Amino acid sequence: MRHFGHLPDGVRSGLFHREPGEFTVSSPARTLAVALGATLYSPASRPRLADDIVKQAGRGVVSMVLCLEDSIHDAEVAGAEENLVRQLGALAEGDADAALPLLFIRVRTPEQIVDLVRRLGPAIRLLSGFVLPKFTEERGVSFLEALISAETAETTAVLGGRRLFAMPVLESPELMHRETRTETLSGIGRIVDKYRERVLALRLGVTDLCSAYGLRRAPDMTAYDVQLVASVIGDVVNMLGRADGTGFTVTGPVWEYFKQHERMFKPQLRLSPFSGRAEALRTALIEHDMDGLLREIELDRANGLMGKTCIHPTHVAPVHALSVVSHEEFSDAADILEPERYGGGVLRSSYTNKMNEVKPHRAWAERTMLRAEVFGVAREDVSFVELLSAGLRTG
C-alpha cells in the first residue's frame, strides 16, 4: 500500500517531486508508525463492515480501527464481536489481492484479545494489532501480556512470523489531574519501554480527557486552545515522544465535527493560498468547519505529534495533504543531513529565507525525511491546496 495510491498515476506524478513510498504490514515499525496517517475509527457493529473497509481503502485510507469500546453501547458488545469475526472472516475469504488498510481492533478488556484471536482463526492475518483503551501502568501490563499470550504457534504461522502491535490510548483521568500526571506518565513510560517491540504508537484520547472536567471544544477551537488539554499533550510529548531514541510516535487527537455549525469566530483559512484557483474549496472547507481541523493538524505537527485519529472519512484527505513534505522542507532537511555538514555549523537555506543550524535541526531533518519516505515530497509549485483538492475529488 502507499499514500495517495488511489490517485491516477498521471495525477500523482504531477503532484509529487518524490512520490510516496510503498509499505506493507511487515514493514519496520518505525515506518508503519508514521504511515498510519489519518486512522479512521469505525464501530465494529456496522452491518457492512467488510464492504466499508474495502471502500475506504479505495478512497485513500491506510489505517482503520474497528472499535468495540466507547463507540458502541455496553449491551451491543457481544453482537459487535460476532459481527466483527464474521465480517473479517468474509474479508479474508475474498480477493486475496485486494488492497486493505492496516487494521486494528479496539478492545475493552485484555481477555477480549485472547478470545478474538482464537475466534478469528485464519482471518487474523488481516490484523495489524489492537488498540488498548485507558492505558495506565496497572492496566497496561494485563493488556500487553494478553497480546503476547494470544500468539500461539498456529497464529504466528498464519501471521507469517510477524507480531501483532499494540497502540495504547492515553486518556485516563490521572493524566488530566496535575497532581498525578507525572507519576502516571512515568509508569506508562516504564511499561511501554519494557514492551517496546510491541508498541507501534501512542494515541491521545482527548475526548475522555476533556470529560474529566466536563469540557468540549467548539468547532472553531483546536485542542490547543483548551489549556488543560494542551498541557497534557505537551507533557505526553515531553516524557514519551522524545527524539533521542527513547520516545514513541504520538498521534494527534480526534476532530469531532463534520457538519456545519453556527460560527462565532472568523474563519481560520487565509484567502491567499486559494486565490484564483481554489476559492470554492476554501468556501467548502469553512462551511464544514474544516478550517479548524486544518489548523489543528498543523499544530499537532508543531507540537511533536504525527498522524491523527479520525471519526469521519472527510477528515482523511486533510490529514494526508498536510502530512506531505513540502519541497522547501525537503530541501532544508537534505542540506542539513549532507555528510560533510555533520560537523555542525550554520547555513542559509536553499530558499534563502531562513537559517539552518546543522546540529540543533538534525533531529527535525531526520523526522522530515522519514515522513518524506511515507507521504512523499510535493513539487516546488504544489501546495497543500492542490494535494487536498486531488484527495477530495477522489475521496
Query: Tell me, what's the pLDDT at 394?
Result: 62
Block means of pLDDT (10 residues each) for the chain, 395 residues, are 95 97 95 98 97 95 97 96 97 83 98 96 96 96 97 90 96 95 98 97 94 89 94 98 96 84 54 59 58 91 96 94 97 88 79 89 95 98 88 69
Query: Among candidates 115, 131, 5, which has minimal Cα distance to 60?
Result: 5
Query: What CA–CA distances, in Å, run from 390 to 217, 312, 323, 383?
Result: 30, 18, 14, 11
Query: Tell me, what's the pLDDT at 282?
Result: 58
Query: Tell me, what's the pLDDT at 296?
Result: 94
Cβ-Cβ contacts under 8 Å for 336 (sequence gap 6 or more): 356, 358, 361, 362, 364, 365
Query: Tell me, what's the pLDDT at 384?
Result: 86
Q: Go through 185-216 and write b for each residue having 16 or more CB atoms within 10 A of its CB, e for each that does not.
A: bebbbebbeebeebbbbbbbbbbbbbebeeee
Q: What is the pTM of this model?
A: 0.91
What phi and psi, each to the nearest 5 degrees, are found at residue 17?
A: -75, -40
Instruction: Say how far apart CA 48 and CA 44 lie, in whole Å.
Output: 10
Query: Tell me, what's the pLDDT at 342?
Result: 64
The secondary structure of 201-264, three-state, reads CEEECHHHHHHCCCCCCCCCCCHHHCHHHHHHHHHHHHHHCCCCCCCCCEEEEEECCCCCCCCC
Pick one of 3.40.50.720, 3.20.20.60, 3.40.50.1820, 1.10.1060.10 as the CATH number of 21-324. 3.20.20.60
**Residues making up the chain, counted from first to last:** 395
Instruction: Say how far apart CA 190 and CA 225 lie, in whole Å.
Output: 30
What helix, strand, coil percent values describe the chain, rounded to 5?
50, 15, 35
Domain boundaries, the chain: 21-324
Please identify which residue in the block is written with the cell numbers 555549523: 345
